[in-house]
Amino acid sequence: MAATAAETRMFLEVRRQLQSALLILGEPKVGGMPMDVSIMPSSLQMKTPEGCTEIQLPAEVRLVPSSCRGLQFVTGDGLHLRLQAQAELGTKLISMFNQSSQAQECCTFYCQSCGEVIIKDRKLLRVLPLPSENWEALVGEWCCHPDPFANKPLHPQENDCFIGDSFFLVNLRTSLWQPRPELSPVEMCCVSSDNHCKLEPKANTKVICKRCKVMLGETVSSETTKFYMTEIIIQSSERSFPIIPRSRFVQSVITQCLVQLSSARSTFRFRIQGQDDKVYILLWLLNSDSLVIESLRNSKYIKKFPLLEDTLKADSSSAWSAIKVLYQPCIKSRNEKLVSLWESDISVHPLTLPSATCLELLLILSRSNANLPSSLRHMNSFQVAFLKM
């Protein structure tokens, strides 16, 4: 093979449940030197007359060299081959809010973007999951008597925290003495009536961080506030604020939401939409057992977007657990017909996030797609991406 070992890109996807792996070695450049590739159980070795490059695999991954099959060369991509891989199952994803350990403890709510304290020293006696979005309709179908929960929304009491698909519900009645989120001022909106516009006051329910002005959530009632999981860190008051790069935090929260929803409700297609119900991304979860190992990643997108700067700290080769997804961008009126089909399909689950976070997620997906080998970037009409756990 004609390539320089130091410049050869390696991509390895290990499927833990299937005990298999796809290995791609980057396409050799014209005029390069011959290279020998050796596959060993715990490492990959590439030799050229100039030297030897060895990539060590994570301790939990063991390749089976004798199982190599499907060897082929893909133009623009490089050498592809499949082989068996013995990999330990990754640690089980935990809830965004550990109910057993956080209940009865004093917790502090932080803005994830800047570390501003939103709620300080709140003792939560009950941390409970909310029922599914359409639970009231199910009650109506199954009960032979009038719905006892009709017009009775589920709002948390003073020391409660209710957990939804992508948000927390918290009661702020006793938090008047604590630093409260800054509420956006009342806005004026134009309402059309008989082709005439008149201004009417419309309350803006957005909850904004006082320091960095990021949208944290929305007010649900005079006492209840919804905080989005992608914007808030809930930490024991005994611990300090954890500094987590924004890209890593968003990916971690989204992957946990998708994996938990797919497991609990057997749904694998999602509409990622803003708080204004505008759809930004159509997303299809393929699998959640991937371990991705790559070297010499393309960093041109990282230099342009601060959101991705944390990836610069990684070594030239890295390994990370990930979910594999298909996605379609829906901004600027793209894929309107597909959006309409998915909106009318009851098997597609909506996942609501702040609009700015939807755009951040789209940027992360696009960057992941651009860094994949070219033959892996598309599947049918969808784009392919990995999200780190």
- For residues 8 and 129, the model is more confident at 129
In percent, how much of the chain has pLDDT > 90? 49
Half-sphere exposure at residue 319, Cβ-oriented, CA atoms within 13 angstroms: 15
In a domain, 183, yes or no: no
Number of domains into which the chain is organized:
3
- Domain end among 38, 58, 87: 87
Q: Are residues 140 and 79 in the same domain?
A: no
Q: Are residues 143 and 224 in the same domain?
A: yes
- Domain end among 41, 57, 87: 87
In a domain, 241, yes or no: no
What's the mean per-residue pLDDT of the chain? 81
Q: Are residues 260 and 321 in the same domain?
A: yes
Question: What digits encode the pLDDT tens for the residues 44-86?
Answer: 887 877 778 788 888 888 999 999 998 898 888 888 999 999 8
What CATH number is attached to the domain comprising 55?
Answer: 2.60.40
In a domain, 196, yes or no: no
Q: What is the pLDDT of residue 361?
A: 98
* DSSP string over 143-201: -SS--TTTT------TTEEEE-SSEEEEE-TT-TTSPPPEEPPPEEEEEEETTEEEEEE
Q: Are residues 317 and 380 in the same domain?
A: yes
In this predicted structure, the answer to whether residue 7 has a pLDDT above a threshold of 90 is no
Question: What digits encode the pLDDT tens for the residues 99-147?
Answer: 444 556 788 999 999 999 999 998 888 888 888 766 666 666 677 777 6
Q: What is the pLDDT of residue 74?
A: 87
In sequence order, the 6+-apart residues with CB closer than 8 A to the CB of 153 are 220, 221
Q: Are residues 232 and 163 in the same domain?
A: yes
When pLDDT is cut at 50, 70 and 90, the band that residue 25 belongs to is confident
- Domain end among 236, 257, 282: 236
Q: What is the pTM of this model?
A: 0.83
The Cα 283–Cα 327 span in angstroms is: 4
Range of the domain at 155: 106-175+204-236
